[in-house]
Structure formats: structure tokens, C-alpha cells
Amino acid sequence: MTTIGGWPPVLEGVSDRAREAQTTVIYGGDLMVGVWPWGEVWRYNPDSCGWNFMRRMFTHPELSSEITHPYDVENHDNSPQNMWGQRVTSLVANGPDLFISTSAKAPYEWKPETYPFLAPDKWKSYGKVYRATMPGHLSVTTKWTDGPTRLEFMIGDREISIHQDGVVLAQTFLIGSLAERTDKARSLKNLKWGTGIFGPHRCVALKGAISIHDSKTRKIRIAYDDHSRTDGVRTCHRSDRHRFAPRIVRGSYLIEKLAAVSISIPVEVS
């Protein structure tokens, strides 16, 4: 494990001390990161190899490089002093959306007489859940099977969908320029199958294929078969199955993680 300086960058106007990337998720083919102590969300794009600041999940207090954590000065008589630092507690992709939650350092109870600087409503910013949506992403929980299972990821006709053993698990529609580009797509460039973003999978076999499914609508089908049993003996446990993740180069991913799968539209199509 190697520490990389400036990952994510320091937000302009805050101290570079005690910064932690506390939550991460792959969403829309990009790496999303929640950063303590100012409740920041950053996005890393593998195509441009650069970080983009998305937003702060809190509107208070004003940014300052003179303090390390929000409300360090106002809370100096209480312990811990940094209790009202601002976390991005979780980043969870579900369906086409990304859910972002916030919290303080821990689930503290707000007491008006002790923490008047959060009155009347600033304390409500801690513990909120936000929904963000970027076009071209879809995540869904898969069905557990005792034997082999087949997952298909369909792209085209202004929609993307995920199927398992012929049953639609989820779908979402594409809009704008992304829909126009996928409508014109006849193939995917630079596609390769990986061995897993969480380490090599331990299944008996995982085979993937890509094909034009419908010549009229030019739907692209990406499918892989998970052969989890052989001779009636399970050799691929639930904890192992999520280790496989085929990757479309140029910044788009198909992910199977914790019995869930995701699809993101590739940036480069032809």
C-alpha cells in the first residue's frame, strides 16, 4: 500500500491537516471519495487521470485554513474538540443513483445549551441523506443461485439494463448526448475482462462475451457466466463471488460486489 500525495487534492480555503478519504465507491465509471473533516465529495476520472471537486455536503461553517476541523474554536471547551467535524459517512450506488450520507465524528446528540453555535437548524445538516444521479450508471442486487448463473448487461435503444438468467433486474433510460452516442454505437472499443477489483475470483469459471444483440436497435450485450458448482460441490462462496469485476477500459466498469452488479456506459464507443 502506497500513500499518494494530493489524492484527493486539498480544497482551496481549508487546512491540509488531518484530512482523510473515509468513504469510496465506483459510480459512473469514476472513483467517488468522501473526505473528512469538511464533508467534501471528490471524483477521480481514469480517462483524464484527474480529480474533480463535486461539492461540500455542508453549507456551514465558512471555510478556513486557520483551523483544522469545523467548529474547532466554538467547541474548544468540549471533548472531543473536533466532534463537529463533517463526515461523508457513506457512498452507496443503488439503481441509477448515488446516495450520500453525512454525520458528525460520531452520532452525538445536539444540546442547545452546550452547542449553541449549531442553532437553530445547522445541527440538522448532520445525518442527512442526499441522492445524486449521473447518466449512464445502473446498480442492482443479484439473485443468489445454487448453480451457474448468467448476467447480461444491455446497452442501446436509449436505455441500459441488467438481466440475470433471462430476468430483468433493473433498467434505466439514457438522455441527451449520451443517448445519441450509444444509439450510434456498433461495438465497444478497448474491452478486456479483468480478474477482479477486490482480488482474483475463486469461482470454477467466469466467461464473458460481447455481441450485437439486435441489428435494428444495435443493442450491445455484455454477458458472463458464473459457474459456481462442479460435480454438485460448491466451490465459489458468496464472499468470493464479489471479487470478479470485468472492466471496460476508458473509464467504465462492470462491477459485481457484495452480491450486486453495476454497469456504466463506456466513454469511447464506435
pLDDT tens profile 202-215: 767 677 777 665 54
Q: What pLDDT score does 74 carry?
A: 97
β-pairing verdict for 20-27 and 30-36: antiparallel
Residue 110 in this model has a pLDDT that exceeds 80: yes
pLDDT band, very low/low/confident/very high, at 198 (cuts 50, 70, 90): low
Task: Please tell me which residue, 247 or 104, carries the higher pLDDT value.
Answer: 104
Residue the block writes with cell 459510480: 27
What is the DSSP annotation of 90-159?
EEEEEBTEEEEEEE-SS-PPP-TTT-GGGTTTGGGGTT-EEEEE-TTEEEEEPPP-SS-EEEEEEEETTE
What is d(CA 35, CA 19) in angstroms, rounded to the nearest whole number?
Answer: 7
What is d(CA 197, CA 148) in angstroms, rounded to the nearest whole number?
Answer: 21
pLDDT tens, position by position, 212-252? 655 454 455 666 566 543 333 323 332 333 323 333 222 22
What is d(CA 81, CA 69) in angstroms, rounded to the nearest whole number?
Answer: 9
Residue the block writes with cell 467466469: 206
pLDDT tens, position by position, 62-96? 999 999 999 999 999 999 999 999 999 999 999 99
| Cell digits of residue 82 | 473536533
What is the value of pTM for the model shown? Answer: 0.78
pLDDT band, very low/low/confident/very high, at 35 (cuts 50, 70, 90): very high
